[in-house]
Amino acid sequence: MPIAGFGTSFATEQSIRDALEAGYRHFDTSLNYMNKDETIQMEIVMGNVFNDVISSGKIKREELFIVSKLEEWDHQRDRVPIAITQSLTNLGLDYLDLYLIHGPESTERKNVSLVETWMGMNDVLESGLTKSIGVSNFDRTQIRSILGTGVVPVTNQVISNPYWTQKPMLAYLQSHNITMTAYSPMGGITDPDLLKDAKLNEIAQFHRVSNAQIAMRYQIQRGVIVIPKANHQKYIVQNLDLFSFNLLDYEMTEIEALNKH
């Protein structure tokens, strides 16, 4: 999985094209993600773009790493193959590279255990509809509940940024050889003022990069996958430029100290 990916919630067709042009190959989406205008599912938008670039020979399917997610209304074991098939139809693909349980919330309400849902995820893995499976928004107890009931999830996708470092979660996942994927790496709706932070700005000026690049480079150096979203070409390109500089050890410590959650 490329450590830097592209988030697609409320994205546009042009932003997907710009991201591919900039060099992104890892794209994160879900069945319930809509485009910026909230008129069409992002999977369908992405499918149209992927069909164009693959059929033209510009990019091969195996060069892409496509992630989608199982929504809460499909947590029953027999619904998982139906759900992933719908996503594949929307995307115009034969398989996903990674399929995630979007969240554990619905299992209690619908009398579906996480183990049942996870077995459904194992089913679609075994049938070749996805190359790997993982989870999103799981806490440690929920992850423990599925360990030993099938393959180990390859990642847990959670909110994480310098204001919400998720340090205990990262340590737990690493102890089980599970990666962490950070959504809202630039603050998102929970911490909208993150990119105005004085310390991030100070470090960014020293390295002559943006505050957003500092926030994401922090994750890269922890071994955390990032999936920022942007609809402006300038930021799409900038958000992928994370490998031309390194944060110093004391800078990593200063960023860790910004944690508020």
The candidate with the shortest Cα–Cα distance to 165, out of 34, 259, 68, 87, is 259
Q: Tokens at residue 199, please?
A: 């310390």
Catalytic one of 33, 163, 183, 218: 33
95 catalytic? Reply is no
| Phi, psi for 161 (deg, rounded to 5) | -165, 180
Q: What is the number of other CB atoms lying within 10 angstroms of the CB of residue 40?
A: 13
What torsion do the CA atoms of 23, 31, 143, 171 make, to the nearest 10 degrees? 30
- Cβ-count burial of 172 within 10 angstroms (0-12 exposed, 13-18 middle, 19+ buried)? middle
Q: How many residues does the chain have?
A: 261
Instruction: Report the catalytic residues.
Output: 33
